[in-house]
Amino acid sequence: MSILEVKNLEKSFDKLQVLKDISLSADNGEIISIIGSSGSGKSTLLRCLNRLETVDSGEIIVDGDTMVSTVNGKSIYAGEDILKKIRMKTGLVFQNFNLFPHYDVLRNITEAPVFAAGIPKDEAEKTAYGLLEQLGLKDKAKAYPYQLSGGQSQRVSIARALALKPKILFFDEPTSALDPELTGEVLKVIRSLTSLNMTMIIVTHEMDFAREISDRMIFMDQGVIVEDTTPADLFNSDNERTKAFLGKFHES
C-alpha cells in the first residue's frame, strides 16, 4: 500500500521551472534513491515533500492525508491540524546537519518530541539516549555541535529525525558535506536503518550505495523523472540520458 503519493507536481522559481509533472509513489518499508545531476530538481522535490517549499500545482498524499491538492489550477494546502499530523509522520536529514548550535546533543534530539509532539521530557530523553547508543554516540549527549565531527553531527541529525518515530524518513544528500572517511561512517548508519522497515527516500550522489540499498531508483534530469525502476534495470538502461549520467559518474 502506498504511504506516499505524488501526482503531477509542478514547481517554478520565477520563470525557471524546476519540477515538471512529477508523479511517484512509495510503499510501506520501501527504500527509494533519487539520483541526478546538480540542478535536476531532486533536492527541490524533497523540499516540496517536506513543505520547505510550496508547490505551484499537483497533489501530495502522506499516509492517507492530503498535504496539498490543486483546485482550478491553484495549489491548496491542508489546514494546520492535518499538516501537523503529516509532520509527525515524516523526518528529514539535511545535508548540512542543521543542528541548533546553542543546544547540546540531547536537547537537539528531544526538542521536537517535547515541544511539537507533547511527549513527556523523561520519555523523550529515554528515547534519545537509546538512539545515541544505537548510533555509537552514547558519550556525546551533553556535547555541543561545535564539539562534534561532521560524521558525528550527521548521526545526531539522523537520531533527531528518528526521535519522532516517523513513517517516512527523507535524506537530502546526507554525505555531501563529509570527507570520504566520514561518508562511509554515515552510510553504514543508514544501512543499519533498513532493519526498521521504514520507508526511506534518499537523494544521493553515492551510486554504489544507492544501488546496494534501494528497492527502486529514480533518475531525474532537467526537472523530470526520466526513469523509475529497479537498480539492476537502471544500471543496465538503454536510455541515452541515463547512460550519459551514469557514464560521467563512473569516469569521475
Q: Positive or negative CA dihedral for 209, 213, 219, 225? A: negative
- Per cent of the chain over pLDDT 70 is 98
Confidence of residue 17 (pLDDT cuts 50, 70, 90): very high
**By the 8 A CB rule, do 230 and 30 touch?**
no
Confidence of residue 238 (pLDDT cuts 50, 70, 90): very high
pLDDT in tens, 86-139: 999 999 998 888 999 999 999 999 999 999 889 999 999 999 999 999 999 999
Rounded to an integer, what distance in angstroms lies between the CA atom of residue 165 and that of residue 161? 8
In three-state secondary structure terms, 160 is helix
pLDDT in tens, 167-205: 999 999 988 878 888 888 889 899 989 888 899 999 999
Residue 34 has pLDDT above 90, yes or no: yes
Question: How far, in Å, are 10, 14, 75 from residue 72 at the CA level?
Answer: 14, 21, 8
Beta sheet of 57-62, edge-to-edge order = 16-27, 2-13, 57-62, 65-71, 74-77
**Which regions of the chain does DSSP assign to beta strands (E)?**
2-13, 16-27, 31-35, 57-62, 65-71, 74-77, 90-93, 168-172, 199-203, 216-221, 224-229
β-pair partners for 17: 12
Half-sphere exposure of 46 (CA within 13 A, CB side): 26
Confidence of residue 250 (pLDDT cuts 50, 70, 90): low
4 conformational bin, left if phi > 0, alpha if psi -120 to 50, beta if neither: beta
Among residues 243, 244, 227, which one has the least CA distance to residue 32? Answer: 227
Average pLDDT over every residue of 153-180 = 92
Residue 252 has pLDDT above 90, yes or no: no
pLDDT in tens, 42-87: 999 999 999 999 999 999 999 999 999 999 888 999 999 999 999 9
pLDDT in tens, 200-237: 999 999 999 999 999 999 999 999 999 999 999 999 99
Confidence of residue 21 (pLDDT cuts 50, 70, 90): very high
